[in-house]
Amino acid sequence: MALDFALGEIAEHLGGELIGDPALRIERIGPLEGATPATISFLSHPRYQSQLAQTQAGCVIVAPAMRDAAAARGAAIVLDDPYLGFARLTQWWAARTRPPVPPGIHPSAVVDPGAVLGEGVSVGPLAVIEAGAVIGDGAAVGAHCVVGAGAGIGRSTRLAPRVVLGAGCRIGERGIVHSGVVIGADGFGFAPVQGRWEKIEQLGNVCIGDDVEIGANTCIDRGALADTVIGDGVKLDNLIQIGHNVRIGAHTAMAGCAGVAGSATIGAHCTVGGGAIVLGHLTLADHVHISAASVVMRSIRKPGQYSGVFPIDDNASWEKNAATLRQLHTLRERIRALEALRGNEKTP
Amino acid sequence: MALDFALGEIAEHLGGELIGDPALRIERIGPLEGATPATISFLSHPRYQSQLAQTQAGCVIVAPAMRDAAAARGAAIVLDDPYLGFARLTQWWAARTRPPVPPGIHPSAVVDPGAVLGEGVSVGPLAVIEAGAVIGDGAAVGAHCVVGAGAGIGRSTRLAPRVVLGAGCRIGERGIVHSGVVIGADGFGFAPVQGRWEKIEQLGNVCIGDDVEIGANTCIDRGALADTVIGDGVKLDNLIQIGHNVRIGAHTAMAGCAGVAGSATIGAHCTVGGGAIVLGHLTLADHVHISAASVVMRSIRKPGQYSGVFPIDDNASWEKNAATLRQLHTLRERIRALEALRGNEKTP
Amino acid sequence: MALDFALGEIAEHLGGELIGDPALRIERIGPLEGATPATISFLSHPRYQSQLAQTQAGCVIVAPAMRDAAAARGAAIVLDDPYLGFARLTQWWAARTRPPVPPGIHPSAVVDPGAVLGEGVSVGPLAVIEAGAVIGDGAAVGAHCVVGAGAGIGRSTRLAPRVVLGAGCRIGERGIVHSGVVIGADGFGFAPVQGRWEKIEQLGNVCIGDDVEIGANTCIDRGALADTVIGDGVKLDNLIQIGHNVRIGAHTAMAGCAGVAGSATIGAHCTVGGGAIVLGHLTLADHVHISAASVVMRSIRKPGQYSGVFPIDDNASWEKNAATLRQLHTLRERIRALEALRGNEKTP
| Cα-based torsion angle of the residue sequence C155, C161, C166, C170 in order, rounded to the nearest 10 degrees | -20
pLDDT per residue as tens digits for the range A252-302: 999 999 999 999 999 999 999 999 999 999 999 999 999 999 999 999 999
| Cα→Cα distances B126→A128, B145, B163, C141, Å | 8, 8, 12, 17
Give the model's pLDDT for residue A346: 59
> Would you state the pLDDT for residue C345?
67
Give the residue-averaged pLDDT of A57-86: 95
Q: What is the distance between the alpha carbons of residues A302 and B315, in angstroms, rounded to a whole number?
A: 13
Q: Residue ranges of the alpha helices (H) in B113-222?
A: none
User: B178, B244, B251, B289: which one is catalytic?
Assistant: B244
Bridge partners, C199 (sequence order): C190
In whole angstroms, what is the distance from residue C50 CA to residue A256 CA?
46
Contacts of B94 in chain A (CB under 8 A): 201, 203
* Catalytically annotated residue among C178, C244, C251, C289: C244
How remote is the C-alpha of B73 from its chain's centroid?
Answer: 36
Q: What is the mean pLDDT of chain C?
A: 95
Least CB-CB distance to C309: which of A83, A87, A310?
A: A310
Task: Tell me, rounded to whole angstroms, the distance of Cα A132 from its chain centroid.
Answer: 30
* pLDDT tens digits, C151-200: 999 999 999 999 999 999 999 999 999 999 999 999 999 999 999 999 99
Those of residues 79-98 in C touching chain A at CB distance below 8 A are: none
Q: Are B189 and B221 in contact (CB under 8 A)?
A: no
Chain B residue with the nearest C-alpha to that of A196: B251
* Average pLDDT value for residue range C37-49: 88
Interface test mutation site (partner A, options C179, C188, C228, C331, max chain A beta carbons within 10 A): C188
Are B81 and A193 an interchain contact pair (Cβ–Cβ within 8 Å)? Answer: yes
B326–chain A Cβ distance below 8 A for any pair = yes
Task: Name B108's Cβ contacts closer than 8 Å, sequence gap at least 6.
Answer: A110, B125, B126
Strand partners, A29: A40
Number of C-beta neighbours around residue C119 at 10 A: 10
Q: Evaluate whether C78 touches C59 at the Cβ level (below 8 Å).
A: no
CB-neighbour burial class of residue C2 (10 A; exposed 0-12, middle 13-18, buried 19+): exposed
In terms of pLDDT, which residue wins out, A170 or B33? A170
- Whether residue A21 contacts residue A7, with contact meaning beta carbons closer than 8 Å, is answered with yes
- Helices then strands, counting H and E runs in chain C, come out as 6, 40
In whole angstroms, give the CA distance from residue B244 to residue B188: 7
Q: Which residues contact C335 (CB under 8 A, 6 or more apart)?
A: A335, B331, B334, B335, B338
| Active-site hit among A144, A244, A251, A289 | A244
Note whether B311 contacts A297, CB cutoff 8 Å: yes
Q: C116 pairs with which residues across the strands?
A: C134
Indicate yes or no: CB of A279 within 8 angstroms of CB of B274.
Answer: yes
Average pLDDT over residues A164-179: 98
pLDDT of chain B, 348 residues: tens digit per residue = 458 999 999 999 999 999 999 999 999 999 898 899 999 999 988 888 888 989 999 999 999 999 999 999 999 999 999 999 999 999 999 999 998 888 999 999 999 999 999 999 999 999 999 999 999 999 999 999 999 999 999 999 999 999 999 999 999 999 999 999 999 999 999 999 999 999 999 999 999 999 999 999 999 999 999 999 999 999 999 999 999 999 999 999 999 999 999 999 999 999 999 999 999 999 999 999 999 999 999 999 999 999 999 999 999 999 999 999 999 999 999 999 999 987 776 544
B97 vs A contacts (CB less than 8 Å): 203
Q: Does A16 touch chain C (CB under 8 A)?
A: no
Residues in Cβ contact with C333 at an 8 Å cutoff, skipping those fewer than 6 apart: none
Interior/surface letters C197-218, b for 16+ CB within 10 angstroms, e for the rest: bbbbbbbbbbbbbbbbbbbbbb
Q: Name every residue whose Cβ is closer than 8 Å to that of residue B133 and which is 6 or more positions away in sequence.
A: B112, B115, B116, B147, B148, B149, B150, B151, B152, B153
The mean predicted confidence, pLDDT, of chain A is 95
| Whole-number Cα distances in Å, B86 to A180, B91, B97, C67 | 33, 9, 16, 65
* Structure confidence at residue B50 (pLDDT): 86
**Hey, of B232, B251, B320, B332, which one would you mutate to test binding to chain A, going by the most A CBs within 10 A of its CB?**
B332
Q: What's the pLDDT score for residue C341?
A: 86
Give the Cα separation of B239 and B236 in Å (integer): 9
Distances (CA, A) of C45 to B243, B244, C64, C65: 23, 21, 12, 11
Supply the pLDDT for residue C343. 75
Please count the residues of chain C.
348
Ramachandran angles phi, psi of A19, nearest 5°: -110, 125
* pLDDT score, position C46: 80
Sign of CA dihedral C296, A285, A220, A157: negative
Q: Which chains touch B (3 or more CB pairs under 8 A)?
A: A, C
Optimal mutation site among C237, C241, C281, interface A, most CBs of chain A within 10 A = C241
Is the model's pLDDT at A245 over the cut of 70? yes
Give the pLDDT confidence score for residue B291 in this predicted structure. 98
Planar angle of CA B119, B124, B126, nearest 5 degrees: 130
Going by their DSSP bridges, the two strands B176-177 and B158-159 should be labelled as parallel
Write down the H helix ranges in chain B: 7-14, 49-54, 67-71, 82-97, 315-325, 328-346
Residue A235 to residue A237: CA distance in whole angstroms: 7
Across the interface, of B241, B313, B335, the residue whose CB is closest to C335 is B335
The CA angle C55-C60-C65, to the nearest 5 degrees, is: 105
**C291, pLDDT greater than 90:** yes
Q: Residue C346: pLDDT band by 50, 70, 90 thresholds?
A: low
Q: What is the dihedral of CA A194, A197, A203, A207, to 10 degrees?
A: 130
The size of chain A, in residues, is 348
Which residues does residue C171 pair with via DSSP β-bridges, in sequence order? C153, C208
Angstrom distance (rounded) from CA A122 to CA A132 = 17
**pLDDT > 70: what percent of chain C?**
98
pTM: 0.97
DSSP state of A300: B
How confident is the model at residue A348, as a pLDDT? 45
Cβ distance A26 to A17 under 8 Å?
no
CB of C99 within 8 Å of a chain B CB? The answer is yes
Residues in Cβ contact with A267 at an 8 Å cutoff, skipping those fewer than 6 apart: A249, A252, A283, A284, A285, A286, A287, A288
Catalytic site includes residue A244: yes
CA dist., res. C9 & res. C24, Å (int): 10
Q: Which chain A residues contact residue C338 at CB under 8 A?
A: 335, 338-339, 342
Distance, CA of A172 to CA of A232 (rounded, Å): 8
C-alpha to C-alpha distance for A225 and A245, rounded to whole angstroms? 8
Distance CA A202, CA A223 (A): 6
Smallest CA–CA distance, residue A243 to chain C, in Å, is 18
8 Å CB contact between B242 and B224:
no
**Amino acid C348: pLDDT:** 45
Question: By the 8 A CB rule, do C105 and C123 touch?
Answer: yes
**Residue B346 backbone dihedrals phi, psi, to 5 degrees:** -75, -40
Q: Which residues of chain A make contact with B91, given a CB cutoff of 8 A?
A: 199, 201
Cβ pair C314:B291 closer than 8 A:
no
List pLDDT tens digits, range C221-261: 999 999 999 999 999 999 999 999 999 999 999 999 999 99
User: Please, what is the Cα angle at C333 between C330 and C336, to 5 degrees?
Assistant: 155
